[in-house]
Amino acid sequence: MKRDNLLLQERHSLILQQLNAEGRVIAAVLAQQLKVTEDTIRRDLRDMAAAGLCQKVYGGAVRMAAAPESGTLVQRMERKQDDKSCLAAAAATLVAPGGTIFLDAGSSNLAIAEALPEMPLTVLTNAPSIAARLLERPQIDLIMIGGRIRQSLGGSVGATAMRELEQLQPDLYFIGACGVDLHAGVTAIDYEEAEFKRRLAAQSKATAVVATTSKIGAVASYRVLPIAQLTHLIVEAQTSDDVDEAYAVAGTGLLRAGAL
């Protein structure tokens, strides 16, 4: 029995290592690597998913998205500021003069707000922190989506905000995402927030996600949209080269920070 428990722990440890390195594991491949049956691996993955270590998907499992950072948007923005500023500068190159963009609540989108070039532009947002950063920009026509502010999210996503979305059709929507996975798509941790993002993405002419390396291959609980519907993905310079080809096949344009 002790030997069986040791083998179980060893398998779980090896599976976690592979999940952290690659973001995804395939049950059939793991069974061959670890010399056990696929049923054994599937049981392992079920147990690990129940413990919050991964999320089961068809044929295997994916890495769980990290829980949202604690603190206000401004406090979260101050963490890894150089990385987020570099990503934001790349994202800002997608914005055209005279266009209409939506920046939803999130520290990466707050960085994009700061990186926007001086040009005539309409910016829609549901985040007071983002709106505050743009108040001193005379060329920007700023429109705030209202309703009750969810402090944990830094923005409004409730019934009032959803009603106001009906009138919007942004040229480009920057989606704040908790996870971006080739198979699971763009995902969020909060149910109500995911519904808000899903509705807005469907009404936008183009969509974009800024993703730090930790978000690539991660999966949160609620899907926002499949990768095939994501127009642009902005990633860090050190993101694996394999990502380029995989997302290009899916039809998503990939932009690397620092590669301009």
User: What per-residue confidence (pLDDT) applies to 6?
Assistant: 44
- Which DSSP symbol is given to 239? S
Q: Would you identify the CATH topology of the domain 8-63?
A: Arc Repressor Mutant, subunit A (1.10.10)
Position 64 confidence tier, pLDDT thresholds 50, 70, 90: confident
pTM: 0.75
Question: Per residue in 82-95, pLDDT tens?
Answer: 678 899 999 999 99
Helices (H), 38-96: 38-50, 73-78, 81-92
pLDDT at 231 over 80: yes
Start-to-end CA distance of the chain, whole Å, equals 57
Helices (H), the chain: 2-22, 27-34, 38-50, 73-78, 81-92, 107-115, 128-134, 159-165, 191-203, 242-249
Q: What is the arithmetic mean of pLDDT over 195-215?
A: 95
Q: Return d(Cα 123, Cα 238) in angstroms, integer.
A: 30
Q: How many residues does the chain have?
A: 260
| Mean pLDDT for all residues in the chain | 88
Residue 249, CA atoms < 13 Å, CB-side half-sphere:
6
Position 7 confidence tier, pLDDT thresholds 50, 70, 90: confident
User: What per-residue confidence (pLDDT) applies to 258?
Assistant: 79
Please say whether the dihedral angle defined by the alpha carbons of residues 16, 19, 22 and 24, taken in this order, is positive or negative: positive
pLDDT at 68 over 60: no
User: What per-residue confidence (pLDDT) applies to 128?
Assistant: 96
User: Would you kindly state where each structural domain of the chain is located, as residue ranges?
Assistant: 8-63, 73-256
Do 202 and 236 meet the contact criterion of CB atoms below 8 Å apart?
Answer: no
Question: Per residue in 171-202, pLDDT tens?
Answer: 999 999 999 988 889 999 899 999 999 999 99
Which of the four CATH numbers 3.40.50.1360, 3.50.30.50, 3.50.50.60, 2.60.40.1260 does domain 73-256 have?
Answer: 3.40.50.1360
Question: Per residue in 117-163, pLDDT tens?
Answer: 999 999 999 999 999 999 999 999 999 999 999 988 899 999 999 99
Question: What three-state secondary structure class fits 149?
Answer: strand
